[in-house]
Amino acid sequence: MEHSAPDMFRQLFDQHYPSVRRKLIALVRDEAAADDIAQEVFLKLYRNPPEQLEAVGAWLHRVLTRQAYDYMDKKARERALIQKSERQMMAEPQAYQSNEQTVIDKDEQEQVQQLLELLPERDRKLLLLRYSGYSYSEIADKLKLQKPQVGTMLKRAGDRFKRQALQTEGAVPND
């Protein structure tokens, strides 16, 4: 009585699976990946068996080696892509902020702009110049002020801005 194809496959699987798995673990150094690759190897065996079943051991070795190298190449490409993305993020972190953060930032800028509009013109100019990176000397020159006055005037303008922000915040009902 001749063996059917599924019975023959089961016999080959039982005979060769332990050595295929062991070789794959040695190659890829990951048991879960080795199990997945072994499954692919035996699926290939089931779908397209070699013409000479006596050479199935060598055939399995060739297929498992090719599959393992394909897996390792894929993992290397994934690692390289992740490293490239990380390098780009480190070089340009502001380019990777979330849409949510962008909306929050825009909202905060609008709120600051509205608060500045409520301040007297001189206070608004003082604060805008200072937070644009101008030095006290440059602010004094631009606004025709005495240099020693700039610090005091900035402090007062900042205090008025804070008071205005607290008043505006207090006017908004809490949810």
Are 118 and 83 contained in the same domain? Answer: no
Overall domain count for the chain: 2
Are 11 and 87 contained in the same domain? Answer: yes
Are 31 and 78 contained in the same domain? Answer: yes
What is the pLDDT, as a whole number, of residue 1?
A: 35
52, 69, 91 - which closes a domain = 91
Distance CA 61, CA 16 (A): 10
CATH number at residue 125: 1.10.10.10
73, 91, 109 - which closes a domain = 91
What is the pLDDT, as a whole number, of residue 53?
A: 83
Domain of residue 85, residue span: 5-91
Distance CA 80, CA 33 (A): 19
- List the chain pLDDT tens, one digit each, 175 residues: 356 778 888 999 999 999 999 999 999 999 999 999 999 999 999 999 888 888 899 999 999 999 999 999 999 999 999 888 888 777 776 655 667 777 777 888 888 888 888 888 888 888 888 888 888 888 888 888 888 888 888 899 889 888 888 887 776 544 4
91, 124, 150 - which closes a domain = 91
Are 69 and 127 contained in the same domain? Answer: no
Are 78 and 133 contained in the same domain? Answer: no
Are 73 and 10 contained in the same domain? Answer: yes
Are 58 and 129 contained in the same domain? Answer: no
Are 83 and 17 contained in the same domain? Answer: yes
DSSP-assigned letters across all residues of 88-154: HHHH-GGGG--HHHHHHHHHHHHHHHHHHHHS-HHHHHHHHHHHTT--HHHHHHHHT--HHHHHHHH
Are 84 and 108 contained in the same domain? Answer: no
- Token digits for 84? 């490239």
CATH number at residue 50: 1.10.1740.10
What is the pLDDT, as a whole number, of residue 32?
A: 95
